[in-house]
Amino acid sequence: IREQLRLLEETNEDLSNRTCRNNIRVRGLPESVSTYLLPDTLTAVFQNLLPKATATDFLMDRAHHTLRALSANLTNPRDNL
């Protein structure tokens, strides 16, 4: 059982690390962009940066604001993933 638990923990850590590799962190979007509109906003930003790409080139499973540190300045926008 201990060996199975160790193997499951290693597998879980590996999967967790792999999902983070494909994240793109975007800074500077205003806080006024709601979470609901975030995927469309990010697609528009990417299309502006890469004009030859199409909307289908930017596949997103999800988009969200990151958490803010408790001591963070509330006037600075949060990162987006």
Task: Give the predicted TM-score (pTM) of the model.
Answer: 0.64
71 pLDDT band, cuts 50/70/90, is: low
pLDDT recorded at residue 50: 92
**Which alpha helices (H) appear in the chain, and where do they start and end?**
2-21, 38-49
| Average pLDDT of the segment spanning 27-40 | 87
pLDDT recorded at residue 74: 66
DSSP letter for 80, please: B
Residue with the bigger pLDDT between 19 and 13: it is 13
Phi-psi category of residue 44: left, alpha or beta, with phi > 0 → left and psi -120 to 50 → alpha: alpha
